[in-house]
Structure 1
Amino acid sequence: MSRVITNKPEVLVPAGTPEKLKVAIDYGADAVYIGGEAYGLRTRAANFSYDDMAVGVAYAHEHDAKVYVTANIVAHEGNTDGAGEFFRTLRDIGIDAAIVSDPALIEIAITEAPGLAVHLSTQASAANYETLNFWQKEGLERIVLGREVGIAEINEMQKHTDVEIEAFIHGAMCIGYSGRCTLSNHMSQRDANRGGCAQNCRWKYDLFEMPTLGDQDSEIKADEAFSMSAVDMCMIEHIPDLVEAGVNSLKIEGRMKTVHYVSTVANVYRKAVDSYCADPDNYELKPEWVDELWKIAQREMSTGFYYGVPDQDDELFGKRRKRPQYTFIGEVLAYDADQQIVTVQQRNNFGVDDTVEFYGPNFRHHQQVVADMWDDEGQAIDRAPHAMQIITFHCATPVQPGDFLRKQK
């Protein structure tokens, strides 16, 4: 008899807006993490008000999902003002945990908001079991590991601790240690460790020889001769290793990413985790899972530090080696099964004779050619060029509200 995995890990998906929270849960997330209007590291994201949080928590809990709030800044003098009220409000709203890195904020959350679970942020760089045990004794229920931790180290940690472990498994990787970097502070006057990162490591840089620094004639001519920009992480091919290592929560990066990204990563990792945990002895990686993630990739992908120290192939040197092939084009609003007509809210230009792909929760997919199209007044049109335009067209394969559409570039 095939064994069944009893310690199925949580699939944790980013939700930068209320819309993305709902999409993440609909597409398979066990939990989402969001930002509030203070104390988080994504000040440019469309962060949640308390009212937004309450609505999001209600929706998540109705669907047996959890909501975590990031409060992971490095606090300077004055930055802790009001933190007690903030954490108490999270608790009273029903937030399932706060993700915190600064010891002062951790202490405030534990002492002033009893009953609110606290998780240690990856910004704290936890990378050994002694550190995990220290934070567990301080009252934390879960540790988000530093992104420099490998599979072998996680296996060793599990021999010496029983605190929950969360690990990043997909998304952007930071050039700074566990996300801590001051490039933005010096070059853009924006404090990366208090939510203002300008992603200076993603900029293109020229490389000069020191004796002639600043002499444009000495510039080394090459395609992006020097770069600090890391490729993205992708562990879809290594779900068995993560599960067997006892990782409790598989975390996906991307609170500022699109609905297309959120729905796709939730869909893929949900399918992979369920497949492995249901029948690990006969588990098989499906090529379509990997292909699906490439449809929304922004950069090349690698396994980061999980199997060794990254090398030059884990940085974006020179020309891109692979590019995403699909554009997000719309959302299904309704489907008339009798007439076989789908109503779509357009997000990007498409039209008659285009081949489009529908996809939905539980990894449902189908492709078709758009044979006809009408606007919201019933007038026949060839293309839908206007953002958020409502259109209809024939669709023989049943689809559901909340399904999405994309097309190949």
Structure 2
Amino acid sequence: MQQKINRKHPELLMPAGDMQKLKTAIRFGADAVYLGTADFGLRAHAGNFDLEQLRIARELTREADVALYLTLNASLRPEEFTALEHLLEELKPVDLDAYIIADPGVLTTIRRIDPQRSIHLSTQSNSCNPQTAEFWGSCGVSRINLARELTLEDINAFSGQTEVELECFVHGAMCVAHSGRCLLSTALLGRGANQGDCAQPCRWNYALVEETRPGESFAIEEDYRGTYLMNSRDLCLVEQLPQLLAAGIDSFKVEGRMKSLYYVATTARVYRDAIDRLSVDPADIDPLWQEELEKVSHRPYDTGFLFGHDDAKIHAADTHYIRTHDFVGFVRRDQNGLWVEGRNKFVLGDEIELIGPAMKQETFRVDEIQSLTGEPLVAGQPNSQLRLRLPDWADEGDLLRLQRVEN
């Protein structure tokens, strides 16, 4: 059996789709981050890291005492292993904390080229029982990500029957297939989900066609926006963390390498606060956590299969995102002090909220906007560089958001 870690609190594992998101995840409370290169991960269109960026990421995470994991969890074709071997040789001196894999061939290749590297098993491997965990443990895997199809009862059984570290998703997008092992994108578009290039056809609007009338489609009338037969809800388990803590989970993972900088900051600050407080008092659930998570763009939230398959709420009636707030600015610093990089439009007189780590947040009125050269402006725009009168505690890396006005 693998030796299980002995951590005071479970790890908060955050996505890092690019360098700025990595820095944001660190600043807003991640214990560990996961990222990918251009090859062999399952997010081909994320802002992936080249070798030099990985070296920088390694330096940043080491300085912050944050673990760094690299995704190599695609299903490889025979001709791809030469490139994998070359990449692994280049990665050895970067000294990453672990590789996240799913393909047994990738595992054996790592064991041959970089035998001391820790290996974590991806959700792609559908680990549904403790016997599977022990098998992978015997192959040298130190951690497995639990299949999202498991119930809380299943998870408790896992924890009691294996010494392999257990990781589970607590937030983010879910998949209508068995933990992502889907051929729909390949069949319709030739874009392989298991090679990181899923087009998400499960989110599309579908209609019914009768075979003798190929030119006519009939709406199934799921709702006024369309018919979404395979669309999934988003997972949100912040209020169920006490049960998962009691089950002995070692790492709580947030999905979202393709999500925004604002998403990374908001989910990291909420789950950091929740893990810290609930590890001390499991009854200390703060309604603010759910309120804050409602302020990021998301599909309808639910608890997935956690409380049983009969009551599982996976399917969502439409694929449209719920957006109550816009991310309008990112705080930066230069030799003259703090300034704001605009991300969405706001104008003089708007009530804007500044958010920072440790659940810091404050609403203030925009009473002055200037360019970096001191010229007065009436609005902030995407990609603009400007100065605002910010709250006293503002610092580089904080974010600005604006509540949407209902039409």
Return the TM-score normalized by structure 2: 0.92
The DSSP-based 3-state class of the residue aligned with 1:158 is helix
In structure 2, give the amino acid aligned to 1:216. Answer: E
Quote the Cα distance in structure 2 between the aligned partners of 1:49 and 1:366.
37
Alignment of 1:298-337 (within 5 A): 298-309=298-309, 313-318=313-318, 323-334=322-333
The DSSP-based 3-state class of the residue aligned with 1:165 is strand
Alignment of 1:376-391 (within 5 A): 376-385=372-381, 387-391=382-386
Alignment of 1:97-108 (within 5 A): 97-108=98-109
Kindly indicate whether the alpha-carbon contact (under 8 Å) linking 2:168 and 2:253 is maintained by their aligned counterparts in 1: yes
Quote the Cα distance in structure 2 between the aligned partners of 1:319 and 1:102.
31
Aligned residue pairs, count: 397
1:404 corresponding residue in structure 2 = 399
In structure 1, give the amino acid aligned to 2:270. Answer: V
Change (3 A) 1:217 1:165: closer
* 1:117 corresponds to 2:118: yes
Quote the Cα distance in structure 2 between the aligned partners of 1:248 and 1:122.
15
Q: CA deviation at 1:324?
A: 2.4
Change (3 A) 1:187 1:319: closer
Change (3 A) 1:217 1:405: closer
Kindly indicate whether the alpha-carbon contact (under 8 Å) linking 1:353 and 1:370 is maintained by their aligned counterparts in 2: yes
Identical aligned pairs, as a percentage? Answer: 35
Alignment of 1:265-280 (within 5 A): 265-280=267-282
The DSSP-based 3-state class of the residue aligned with 2:81 is coil
* 1:349 corresponds to 2:379: no
Change (3 A) 1:213 1:106: farther
1:80 corresponding residue in structure 2 = 81
Quote the Cα distance in structure 2 between the aligned partners of 1:354 and 1:379.
19
The DSSP-based 3-state class of the residue aligned with 1:216 is coil
Change (3 A) 1:243 1:89: farther
What per-residue deviation string (whole Å, max 9, x for no partner) do you get for residues 5-54 of structure 1?
Answer: 96411000000101111110110000000001211111111111111111
Structure 2: unaligned runs, 5 residues or longer: 1-5
Kindly indicate whether the alpha-carbon contact (under 8 Å) linking 1:343 and 1:393 is maintained by their aligned counterparts in 2: yes
Quote the Cα distance in structure 2 between the aligned partners of 1:136 and 1:222.
45
Quote the Cα distance in structure 2 between the aligned partners of 1:236 and 1:47.
28
* 1:368 corresponds to 2:364: yes
Q: CA deviation at 1:311?
A: 6.0
Change (3 A) 1:313 1:215: farther
Quote the Cα distance in structure 2 between the aligned partners of 1:109 and 1:234.
34
Kindly indicate whether the alpha-carbon contact (under 8 Å) linking 1:6 and 1:277 is maintained by their aligned counterparts in 2: no
1:52 corresponding residue in structure 2 = 53
Alignment of 1:190-269 (within 5 A): 190-208=191-209, 210=210, 214=214, 216=216, 218-223=218-223, 224-269=226-271
Stretch deviating more after TM superposition (139-148 or 78-87): 78-87
Quote the Cα distance in structure 2 between the aligned partners of 1:169 and 1:90.
29
What per-residue deviation string (whole Å, max 9, x for no partner) do you get for residues 129-184 of structure 1?
Answer: 00000000011111111111121111111221101011111000011101100111
What per-residue deviation string (whole Å, max 9, x for no partner) do you get for residues 61-115 of structure 1?
Answer: 1111011000011112212223233223333201100000001111111121111
Quote the Cα distance in structure 2 between the aligned partners of 1:342 and 1:9.
34
Quote the Cα distance in structure 2 between the aligned partners of 1:401 and 1:90.
31
The DSSP-based 3-state class of the residue aligned with 2:21 is helix
Question: Which aligned segments of 4 or more residues in structure 1 are displaced greater than 4 angstroms?
Answer: 210-213, 310-313
The DSSP-based 3-state class of the residue aligned with 1:37 is coil
What per-residue deviation string (whole Å, max 9, x for no partner) do you get for residues 173-205 of structure 1?
Answer: 011101100111011111111111111111111
Kindly indicate whether the alpha-carbon contact (under 8 Å) linking 1:84 and 1:113 is maintained by their aligned counterparts in 2: no
2:388 is aligned, of 367, 387, 393, to 393
Alignment of 1:21-170 (within 5 A): 21-170=22-171
In structure 2, give the amino acid aligned to 1:306. Answer: L
In structure 1, give the amino acid aligned to 2:293. Answer: L
**Alignment RMSD (CA, Å):** 2.1
The DSSP-based 3-state class of the residue aligned with 1:363 is coil
Stretch deviating more after TM superposition (311-320 or 124-133): 311-320
Structure 1: unaligned runs, 5 residues or longer: none
The DSSP-based 3-state class of the residue aligned with 2:400 is strand
